Chain A
């Protein structure tokens, strides 16, 4: 599923949050979105997910048979999974209940849910399922895991994750990288990931968009991992 952004503009007062003339994210691509704080990464995700109103422009999800403007219909929600922040979580449920809820409203059978959860066993590290804890009582890292898993639960064709490596311990960061890559290979899903972690972004994203003041200033080919130096230079992280 392609994502086509055209003349997309969003201002908060005088501040330009997003200003993208034209940008296409190809089907099956893993796109990394990087930029400093306030560059507009989360706002762009929220615009793609129709959670805020664009001042101008459109976001389309498109394949050979469909062309959908996200602001005009809800159809795309059937094949899009996202986790931006904890306002996506119903925190008075236990993780088990939350996954069951998402599975059932998405029409998944209990066996399918179990199969899905089994795949994430290592990622959850015995700290999420069967804990008799509400999501609100989980650590920030475990909440993050629940959010990411819930986004992936309906096996979306488009997966959007805002800073998925935040709060995670190193082994979970590594695990989520592998899970995302594997998921992309198996399903050919389009995946959008924003992160401040350049290393992880370079590791998993063959294409990286660099955002500054709401504008995509560089569209970097990273198939061979060549974006590392360019990004380090931009963010001035070299010693």
Chain B
């Protein structure tokens, strides 16, 4: 078999891996939803592209619309970078099944790196950029300029993809590497947002303008950067393959806190201990928690130090986001981590009910964190106490009950200690997360409009308190419905375990 045939075979296997993923294998509806979500986000990007092209036209003292967008392109790349954590796997993981076969390791790395570079994912921003460019560049400046500009964006996305792969692979060595992109992206955002004028506006515009005008030196320079990133990835991924295969968790357990203060709560206390240990001893939940706190801090600091989010809607959004973020990231996949040991849980009487209660108490307790983080905003008057109280109670008493409904329907096991990519939520979960991010703001705005301030927040609080008071009832109901669906769910958990 020559190298080209081998390349085709590996590519075929990757395609089969995606097509035969257990999540879709038995669930056509899920496949439909995923395609729907893919089209939904594409439609949003197209909409953004068109509205920005029209909105920016002549809005900034005669500056061409695409120069305005170009000046902010690092933000797009930062979003692109973090979204990749959900979508993109590393070559070192993809190559794992083949490492003991008679295939050169370096060849495997090249195959998967080239696939990453030419992945269709690098063209996804095209849904925004093509309509934008058609209106803002092709019509006034011509097709050649438009294609050059688009080509430049594509190269930047490829470079961004390789940067992501490098960081993602470093993260398998140690989670502390997450600080690297946080610092770099934080610095970039600070340089763009904190000064009166975006410091990066000029260099960014010059770079993309050079692409639009087909300045060969600039293009070669970016291609050289891609080549360097490619080679750096190649060296790193190549050196990591055997580390990944022989990877053994640090065996000595450091955290064996007995948490005896929870003993007084009997069975619930035991399940709460289980919840705490699950969050603190497994990479995936731990990472979700750290990222949640990171996002909360970031948005709260931005709001405190700048006027970037001073609008009414953004204030509400950030306040709500801070309250619900941890809940969304953990409860959207409720029971999915438990899928790893579901048979053990199901062998105990009413264990799922006790577990659900423990999860509710634990997640409610975590809501002590957002008001602490937002305390300076409340003291400085940038955010009202009513808003905080409204969203706090609404989260516990209304949004949590909505999220907990997923315990009835989730049936995919999430790995506890593997990569962040892959099973991080299906389309149903994404739809619910979107609903709960905007539903409370809508209710509050409507109530405030009709009743006046602070009645919107009082309404949210009241609804939340009802949910809290009746929590045993709705949790019992969820448990009973879970038991009705138990065979389907257990089958799903088993089928998706370790896959």
- Which positions in A face B, CB cutoff 8 Å? 49-53, 74-75, 77-78, 80-82, 84-85, 87-94, 97, 101, 104-106, 132-134, 136-137
Extra 10 A-B pairs, beta carbons < 8 Å, given A49-B343, A52-B487, A101-B270: A50-B346, A51-B490, A84-B343, A87-B343, A90-B341, A104-B270, A132-B256, A133-B252, A137-B248, A137-B251
A53: which B residues are within 8 A, CB to CB?
Answer: 487
Q: Which B residues between 245 and 288 are near A, CB-CB below 8 angstroms?
A: 248-249, 251-253, 256, 263, 266-267, 270-271, 273-274, 277-278, 281-282
Among A49, A52, A97, which residue has its beta carbon within 8 angstroms of that of B277?
A: A97
What are 27 A-B residue pairs whose CB atoms fall within 8 Å in the complex?
A50-B346, A52-B487, A52-B490, A52-B491, A77-B347, A78-B349, A80-B347, A82-B347, A87-B342, A87-B343, A87-B344, A88-B344, A91-B340, A92-B278, A92-B416, A94-B253, A101-B274, A104-B267, A104-B270, A105-B270, A105-B354, A132-B252, A132-B253, A132-B256, A136-B417, A137-B249, A137-B251
- With the chains together, A137 CA to B417 CA distance in Å? 13
Instruction: Give the number of residues in B that approach A within 8 Å (Cβ atoms).
Output: 36
Considering the chains assembled together, what is the distance between the CA atoms of A106 and B267 in angstroms?
8
Contact of A105 among B252, B267, B278, B282 (CB under 8 A): B267
Q: Does B351 contact A (CB under 8 A)?
A: yes
A161 to chain B minimum Cβ distance, whole angstroms, is 13
Cα–Cα distance between A53 and B491 once the two chains are bound (Å): 9
Asked whether A87 lies within 8 Å of B349 as measured between CB atoms, the reply is no
> In whole angstroms, how far apart are the Cα atoms of A91 and B341 in the complex?
8
Cα distance A93–B281 in the bound complex, in angstroms: 9
Query: Which residues on the B side are within 8 Å of A82 (C-beta)?
Result: 347
Residues of A within 8 A of B278 (CB): 92
The residues of B that contact A77 with a CB separation of less than 8 Å are: 347-349
Main secondary structure of the interface of A (DSSP, over half): loop
A90 touches B343 (CB 8 A): no
Chain B residues engaging chain A, CB cutoff 8 angstroms: 248-249, 251-253, 256, 263, 266-267, 270-271, 273-274, 277-278, 281-282, 340-344, 346-351, 354, 416-417, 487, 490-491, 494, 497
> Do the beta carbons of B270 and A93 come within 8 Å of each other?
no
Report if A134-B274 is in contact (Cβ < 8 Å); known contacts: A88-B347, A105-B351: no
Judge whether B273 and A101 touch: CB under 8 Å.
yes
Check A89–B487 contact: CB distance below 8 A.
no
Is B249 a contact of A136 with CB atoms below 8 Å? yes
Residues of B within 8 A of A106 (CB): 348
Q: How far is the CA of A93 from the CA of B275 in the complex (A)?
A: 11
CB distance from A101 to the nearest CB of B (A): 6
Contact B348 A92 (CB under 8 A): no
**Are B340 and A133 interface neighbours, CB within 8 A?**
no
Chain A residue contacts of B256, Cβ below 8 A: 94, 97, 132
A105 and B249 form a contact (CB under 8 A) = no
Per the bound structure, the CA–CA distance linking A89 and B282 in Å amounts to 15
Q: A78 to B350: give the CA distance in the assembly, Å.
A: 10
| Contact, CB under 8 Å: B347 / A87 | no
Write the nearest CB–CB distance from A137 to chain B, whole angstroms.
5
How far is B218's CA from A145's CA once the two chains are assembled, in angstroms? 64
Tell me which residues across on chain B come within 8 A of A136, comparing CB atoms: 249, 417
In whole angstroms, what is the CA distance A100 to B348 when docked?
A: 15
Q: How close is B489's CB to chain A, nearest CB, in angstroms?
A: 11
B233 shortest CB reach to chain A, Å: 30
A193 CB to closest chain B CB (Å) equals 17
Cβ of B338 to closest chain A Cβ, rounded Å: 9
Say which residue of B248, B281, B346 sits within 8 Å of A92 (CB atoms). Answer: B281
Answer whether A134 and B343 are a contact pair too, CB < 8 Å, given A77-B348, A90-B274.
Answer: no
On chain A, the residues within 8 Å of B266 by CB distance are 104
Bound-complex Cα distance A97 to B276 (A) = 13
In the complex, which of the residues B271, B346, B351 has the most CB atoms of chain A within 10 Å of its own CB atom? B346
Collect the chain B residues with CB atoms within 8 Å of residue A92's CB: 277-278, 281-282, 416
Closest residue of B by beta carbon distance from A74: B349
A87 close to B487 (CB less than 8 A):
no
Specify the chain B residue showing the minimal Cβ separation from A93. B277
Interface centre among A51, A106, A137 (most CB of B within 10 A): A51
Chain A residue at minimum C-beta to C-beta distance from B347: A82
Q: Report the minimum CB–CB distance from B358 to chain A (whole Å).
A: 11
Task: Write the chain A residue with the least CB distance to B268.
Answer: A105
A97 to B255, CA, bound (A): 12
Could you tell me the distance in whole angstroms from the C-beta of A41 to the nearest C-beta in chain B? 16
Q: Which 10 A-B residue pairs are closest in the complex by CB-CB distance?
A: A53-B487, A88-B344, A77-B349, A87-B343, A92-B281, A74-B349, A132-B253, A104-B270, A90-B341, A137-B251
Which residues of A lie under 8 Å from residue B417 when comparing CB positions? 136
Please, which residue of chain A has its CB at the minimum distance from the CB of B354?
Answer: A105
Complex CA gap A173/B492 in Å reads 34
Are B497's CB and A105's CB within 8 A?
no
Report the separation of the CA atoms of residues A49 and B344 in the bound assembly, to the nearest whole angstrom. 11
Chain A residues closer than 8 Å to B248, beta-carbon distance: 137
Q: In the assembled complex, which residues on chain B have CB atoms less than 8 Å from the CB atom of A75? A: 349
Cα–Cα distance between A43 and B373 once the two chains are bound (Å): 51
- Taking A87-B340, A89-B341, A105-B354 as contacts, is the C-beta distance between A134 and B349 under 8 angstroms? no
Instruction: Write the chain B residue with the least CB distance to A100.
Output: B270
B277 touches A85 (CB 8 A): no
Chain B residues with CB under 8 A of A51: 343, 346-347, 490
- Decide if B348 touches A133 in the complex (CB within 8 Å): no
B344 near A74 with CB under 8 A, answer no
- Complex Cα spacing A85 to B494, Å: 12
A84 neighbours in B (Cβ, 8 Å): 343
Query: Which residue in chain A gives the minimum CB-CB distance to B416?
Result: A92
Cβ contacts under 8 Å, A101 to chain B: 270, 273-274
Assess the B281–A105 pair: CB atoms within 8 A: no
Minimal beta-carbon separation of A106 from chain B (angstroms): 8
For residue A77, which residue of chain B has the nearest CB? B349
Task: Kindly report which residue of chain B lies nearest to residue A92, judged by CB atoms.
Answer: B281
Chain A residues, Cβ within 8 Å of B273: 101
A94–B274 CA distance with the chains assembled, in angstroms: 11
Which residues in A have their C-beta under 8 angstroms from that of B350? 74
Q: Which of A74, A82, A85 has the most CB of B within 10 A?
A: A74
What chain B residues lie within 8 Å of A134 (beta carbons)? 249, 253, 281
- Chain A, Cβ-Cβ closest to B344: A88
Residue of chain B at shortest CB distance from A78: B349
